[in-house]
Amino acid sequence: MKKNKYYKLLINLLDDVVSLVYPRTCAACNQVLLNHEILLCMLCEVEIPKTNYHLMPNNPIEKMFWGRFELESAAAYLHFRKQGGVQKIMHKLKYKGKSDVGTVIGERYGREVAKVDRFKNVDVIVPIPLHRDKQKTRGYNQSEMFGIGLSEGMNVPLSVDNFVKITATESQTKKNRSERWKNVRDVFQVNNPELLENKHILLIDDIITTGATIEAAALILLKIKGVKISVLGMAVSGG
């Protein structure tokens, strides 16, 4: 009993020492986090622009996909605004090696989404894949990191090796909608379609902008017998 108590004290002490040397900082504003704060400081936690679209049927993301492919439900956790905290969060996840940002946000959002009826019947989570070379350079796929957290929070399995990207595409950021669409067409492939037959797939991505990537991926996946598609993003830009 006594031993256990000292052990816990020692662990807490080590935690404090580690955070003195490597202070944990807020993913949105870089302030040093207090012990109980996870990912965001208290102020950013209050101010982070959540969409709550998971609670809103016919939300702007669902409307974005109307007439493009058959969609069950769609939502994204945060509003992406240039120069805002969400942009800093996404930048850390994509370019600064902070893969844990994706998993923490995924788990958080997953717990919220799991309570909503229209997302309750999804069978499997499928992230938008990165091309092998790009994933090697970055070290991980940021959408997959989001998926690992979502899978935990929603208690739904994650599939990462079946749906793959076979052609490297150029960066999407400087392209308009029709250029983006041409850029992403025919770049995805399903290795074992039979594993996804009759599944309700939750297709996920980091930032949803024009929806061109999601649309291209959904159109490939919808060729599999009995597939239904819902969509979740970490953030939505302009929606």
Nearer to Zn ion, 26 or 221 (CB): 26
DSSP annotation of 61 reads H
Number of residues that bind Zn ion (CB under 5 A): 6
Nearer to Zn ion, 28 or 229 (CB): 28
Which residue has 């599939």 as its token pair?
Answer: 159
Give the chain's radius of gyration (CA, Å). 19
Nearer to Zn ion, 44 or 148 (CB): 44
- The token pair at 137 is 């350079």
For residue 101, the minimal CB distance to Zn ion (Å) is 13
Nearer to Zn ion, 9 or 42 (CB): 42
For residue 98, the minimal CB distance to Zn ion (Å) is 14
Which residue has 């939505």 as its token pair?
Answer: 236
Closest CA to 184 of 72, 89, 68, 67: 68
Nearer to Zn ion, 79 or 185 (CB): 79
Residue 89 within binding range of Zn ion, rule CB under 5 A:
no
Number of helices (H) and strands (E) in the chain: give both, helices first. 10, 6
Instruction: Give the C-alpha distances (Å, rounded to integers) separating 228 from 65, 81, 92, 153, 155.
Output: 14, 30, 32, 21, 19
Which residues pair with residue 25 across a beta bridge? 32
- The token pair at 41 is 């400081």
For residue 3, the minimal CB distance to Zn ion (Å) is 39
For residue 93, the minimal CB distance to Zn ion (Å) is 15
Which residues ranging from 178 to 237 are in contact with Zn ion (CB under 5 A)?
A: none
Residue 51 · residue 77 · CB < 8 Å: yes
Which residues ranging from 13 to 32 are in contact with Zn ion (CB under 5 A)?
A: 26, 28-29, 31
For residue 35, the minimal CB distance to Zn ion (Å) is 15
Residue 39 within binding range of Zn ion, rule CB under 5 A:
no
Residue 48 within binding range of Zn ion, rule CB under 5 A:
no
Residues within the interface to Zn ion (CB under 5 A) = 26, 28-29, 31, 41, 44
